[in-house]
């Protein structure tokens, strides 16, 4: 129905993916079906406990789905060797997870080393990445994580995840613990990096403003289910349900990418914004 939902070349597809943790009386992720195109920056937003992290961790197989199928670039991820799968997926988390016993350069070199890059190539890549995340190589390459500010650590975490230029980046509230001004700068850098390389990003946040600022499409989750999956403009124009309306209201009046979303009236984008099911149909069709 909707152009934007027609998978031209799906980078990542979820087919009726459900996750129920052992002993839990509910599904943390509940029958999620959707398709993400190559080069999209999808932001995943929802209240705490809505299943965002669980959904993300199923993609790099830190968790296994209870039911359903996840397809990465045409391949069922369950058929892949998890170790090889993960080396091709960048992963950034709020806790950063930098290795405290390794320097910045060593942290960034972890995956290149796992992939047995030679040291010249790795060294060149480290410089390139530090430049990309705007850290002076001469100043920072030999520092340890404990010698960095929170924002600098997060930049290194980002550089590390980008090291082998993975086709898919998973980011779980990467800027969640960072002050507003630094966060704004990091968001802009992420947009710049994404625009320059056009890899597929799946970015989790609980901040609706961040979701609308960054996302080419925004995936809204609640109670493990997809509430709406559409562009920021579409969501602002036609919230799929009461939950989405409330979420938008909680963020105040300006959640659009250019700050005017709440006054925008784009009548052309009415249908099919309750995406949980409609993308599922697209994917299967």
Partner 1 sequence: MAEAWQQFMAYGERYPHKLVDALLQHLQIVGITLMVSLALAVVLTLLLMDHRRAAELAVSVLGALYSVPSLAAFALLIPLLGIGMDTAIVVLVIYNQFLLVRNFLAGLDAVDPSTVEAAIAMGMTPLQVLLRVRVPLAFPVIMAGVHLAIISTIGIATIAAVINAGGIGVILFDGLRSHKIAKILWGTALSAGLAITANMLMTRIERLAEKRLHFS
Ligand X SMILES: Nc1ncnc2c1ncn2[C@@H]1O[C@H](COP(=O)(O)OP(=O)(O)O)[C@@H](O)[C@H]1O
Q: Cβ 51 to partner 1, closest distance in Å?
A: 18
> Which strands form 29-37's sheet, in the order they lie side by side?
29-37, 10-19, 67-72, 75-76
Structure tokens at 92: 């950034």
Cα–Cα distance measured from residue 179 to residue 241, given in angstroms and rounded to the nearest whole number: 32
By a kind-dependent CB cut-off of 5 to 8 A, residue 51 interacts, out of ligand X, partner 1, Mg ion, none, with ligand X
Enumerate residues 55-74 that contact partner 1 by CB under 8 A: 60, 62
Residue 91 lies near partner 1 (rule: CB under 8 A): yes
Which residues, listed in sequence order, are joined to residue 220 by a DSSP beta bridge?
45, 228
Q: Cβ 60 to ligand X, closest distance in Å?
A: 14
Nearest Cα to Cα of residue 217 among 7, 65, 75, 31: 7
Could you say which of 84, 149, 253, 277 contacts partner 1 (CB under 8 A)? 84
Which residues, listed in sequence order, are joined to residue 171 by a DSSP beta bridge?
92, 203
- Could you tell me if 236 and 255 are in contact, meaning their C-beta atoms sit under 8 angstroms apart? yes
C-alpha neighbours within 13 Å on the C-beta side of residue 105: 18
By a kind-dependent CB cut-off of 5 to 8 A, residue 114 interacts, out of Mg ion, ligand X, partner 1, none, with partner 1
Q: Among the candidate windows 37-45, 49-57, 234-242, 245-253, which touches Mg ion by CB under 5 A?
A: 49-57
Could you say which of 35, 43, 50, 153 contacts ligand X (CB under 6 A)? 50
By a kind-dependent CB cut-off of 5 to 8 A, residue 117 interacts, out of Mg ion, partner 1, ligand X, none, with none
Could you say which of 10, 51, 65, 280 contacts ligand X (CB under 6 A)? 51
Residue 46 lies near ligand X (rule: CB under 6 A): yes
By a kind-dependent CB cut-off of 5 to 8 A, residue 48 interacts, out of Mg ion, ligand X, partner 1, none, with ligand X
- Could you tell me if 190 and 216 are in contact, meaning their C-beta atoms sit under 8 angstroms apart? no
Neighbours of 188 (CB within 10 A): 12
Query: At residue 168, what are phi and psi to the nearest 5 degrees?
Result: -130, 135
Give residues in contact with Mg ion (CB under 5 A).
53
Note the residues at the interface with partner 1 (CB under 8 A): 60, 62, 83-89, 91, 93, 95-101, 110-111, 114, 144, 146, 160
Residues that bind ligand X in the complex, under the rule CB under 6 A: 21, 24, 28, 46, 48-54
């Amino acid at each position: 129905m909707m152009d934007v939902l027609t998978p031209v070349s799906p980078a990542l597809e979820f087919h009726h993916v459900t996750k129920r943790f052992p002993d839990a009386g509910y599904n943390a992720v509940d029958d999620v079906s959707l398709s993400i195109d190559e080069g999209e920056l999808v932001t995943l937003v929802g209240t705490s406990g809505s299943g965002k992290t669980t959904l993300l961790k199923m993609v790099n197989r830190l968790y296994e789905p209870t039911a359903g199928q996840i397809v990465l670039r045409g391949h069922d991820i369950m058929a892949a060797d998890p170790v090889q799968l993960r080396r091709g997926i960048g992963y950034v988390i709020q806790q950063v997870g930098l290795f405290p016993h390794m320097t910045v350069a060593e942290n960034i070199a972890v995956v290149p080393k796992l992939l047995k890059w030679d040291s010249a190539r790795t060294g060149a890549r480290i410089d390139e990445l530090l430049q990309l995340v705007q850290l002076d190589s001469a100043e920072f390459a030999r520092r340890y994580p404990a010698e960095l500010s929170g924002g600098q650590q997060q930049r290194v975490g980002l550089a590390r995840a980008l090291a082998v230029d993975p086709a898919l980046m998973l980011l779980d509230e990467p800027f969640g613990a960072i002050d507003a001004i630094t966060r704004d700068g990091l968001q802009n850098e992420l947009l710049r990096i994404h625009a320059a390389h056009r890899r597929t990003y799946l970015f989790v946040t609980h901040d609706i403003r961040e979701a609308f600022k960054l996302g080419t499409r925004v995936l809204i989750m609640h109670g493990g289910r997809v509430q709406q999956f559409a562009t920021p403009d579409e969501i602002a124009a036609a919230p799929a349900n009461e939950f989405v309306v409330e979420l938008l209201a909680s963020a105040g009046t300006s959640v659009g990418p250019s700050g005017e979303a709440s006054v925008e009236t784009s009548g052309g984008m009415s249908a099919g914004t309750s995406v949980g099911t409609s993308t599922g149909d697209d994917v299967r069709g």
